[in-house]
Amino acid sequence: MLHRVRDARRTPRLSIVVALGCASLVGPAVRAAPPDALEILRRADASTKAVKRVSYDARAFGSGEVATRPTFRGSVKLVRANTVFLPRYHIDVTRVEGDGAVSDMRTFVCDGVSAIVFDKRRRVYLVDHTIRRMSQDAAVLYMREYLHAAPFGDEIEGSLARYEGSAVVGGVDCHQVWVVYSGERQAARWYFGKHDYLPRRVDRFSGGPRAAGANVLELSDVDVDPLFDEQTFQVEGPLGYQDVSPGARQDTLLIGGRAPDWELATSGDRRVRLARLKGDVVVLEFRAPWCRFCAQSAPIVQRLADSFSERRVRFFAIDLWSDSDAKPVEALRAQGGGYPLLLGGDGIARDYRINGVPTYYVIDARGVILYAQDRFTADIEQKLRRAIEAALLRAP
């Protein structure tokens, strides 16, 4: 019995010794190795290269020594180009100074061949039909890797790629990777979504890895399967904006200016004065009875007059340059126009800068010129309809 007791007491000690010995052989718990930075870059390269179109909101700002630079914010829509054309893009950019004041608001649009920029503060636009590269002002919010043939090739081939941990960007949990490029003159800190490996932010250190400040581009609401309509990449001046492109003709009054007043008579000697039409949208078609393009215009203007007959829109044809034996009213009716025709327009032709017919004006309810065009075009009905609808929305 005593022997058994001793044996029973010794058994736990042996177990403890064995257990301790095993523990010493295993050692402390091994920490998981950090993710491979190069593997993250390779996956990001493949994921980004697969993107054909993308939309996102963006903010560009400075950090560190360049924190005082202006902040840019806006939205970006991009479609990858083929080997011939530029990418299609639509980029809205607002510049905000350090004191919070908005100093610039512009939109940049490219259809792959031509580009347009319109200034929302000055209400002017400029068209470039020979564009070769994206404007620097538009590129401030453009993360070029999304449409690049080798998005992260330079990063993969760089001098250093180091994993720095996790960070949340725009509500997305991201891998954070520090990159020093070949030559070590530039460095960047990249943030890639953990679920899709798409870039969400980059801090670019143009002075190399020891630079004390970075230019930051941060994205949110990234969508790699967006739906764009036909208007998204249309290179066309918006309503209410003046064309200031090099060589642009200024054959009409400036959009946004007040329409000169006039008083003219109908064939029945009824007097009509523009100043008395305030509160109504006014559409003017300057025309001549011998003008073949005016003959094409008449049924179009009549269709518009019928469409807006229940709205506060007034349509007038204004006769110009008629011979003494001309019958302008009869000509208009024969061409399909039933809207009023005003006689004696020669006296106001200079005021409205009329150099050819037909010339069109849309004047809003306050007497401000919203749209002007000095020639007939195949899409004039669409343009006038858009201008009239816009003028009605502005009515008091």
Which CATH number characterizes residue 331's domain? 3.40.30.10
pLDDT, tens digit (0-9, with 9 covering 90-100), for 190-221: 999 999 999 999 999 988 788 889 999 999 99
In-domain check, residue 190:
yes
Position 143 pLDDT exceeds 80: yes
Q: Which domain holds residue 330?
A: 249-393
Among the listed residues 206, 76, 203, 208, the one whose alpha carbon sits nearest the alpha carbon of residue 146:
76
Which CATH number characterizes residue 84's domain? 2.50.20.10
Residue % of the chain over a pLDDT of 70: 89
**How far is it, in rounded angstroms, from Cα 28 to Cα 363?**
82
Residue-wise DSSP of 170-187: TTEEEEEEEEE-TTSS-E
Residue 110 sits in the same domain as residue 62: yes
Helix, strand, coil shares, percent, the chain, to 5: 25, 35, 45
* Residue after which a domain boundary falls, among 206, 223, 240: 223
Position 3 pLDDT exceeds 80: no
Whether the pTM exceeds 0.75: the reply is no
Position 8 pLDDT exceeds 50: no
In-domain check, residue 34:
no
pLDDT, tens digit (0-9, with 9 covering 90-100), for 47-104: 999 999 999 999 999 999 989 999 999 999 999 876 556 789 999 999 999 889 999 9
The pairing of strands 160-169 and 53-64 is unpaired
In-domain check, residue 9:
no
In-domain check, residue 16:
no
* Residue after which a domain boundary falls, among 183, 207, 223: 223
**How far is it, in rounded angstroms, from Cα 342 to Cα 274?**
12
Residue 198 sits in the same domain as residue 268: no
In-domain check, residue 237:
no
Residue 85 sits in the same domain as residue 134: yes
Domain count, the chain: 2
Residue 262 sits in the same domain as residue 299: yes
Position 188 pLDDT exceeds 70: yes
Residue 157 sits in the same domain as residue 63: yes
Residue 149 sits in the same domain as residue 274: no
In-domain check, residue 273:
yes
pLDDT, tens digit (0-9, with 9 covering 90-100), for 253-312: 778 888 999 999 998 899 999 999 999 999 999 999 999 999 999 999 999 999 999 999
User: What's the mean pLDDT when you consider all of the chain?
Assistant: 88
Residue 274 sits in the same domain as residue 369: yes
Residue 193 sits in the same domain as residue 263: no
Confidence at residue 322, expressed as pLDDT on a 0 to 100 scale: 86
* Residue after which a domain boundary falls, among 223, 238, 260: 223
Residue 49 sits in the same domain as residue 197: yes
In-domain check, residue 274:
yes
Residue 279 sits in the same domain as residue 144: no
Side-chain-side CA neighbours of 264 within 13 Å: the count stands at 23
**How far is it, in rounded angstroms, from Cα 2 to Cα 257?**
116
Tell me the pLDDT band of 130, cut-offs 50, 70 and 90: low
In-domain check, residue 230:
no
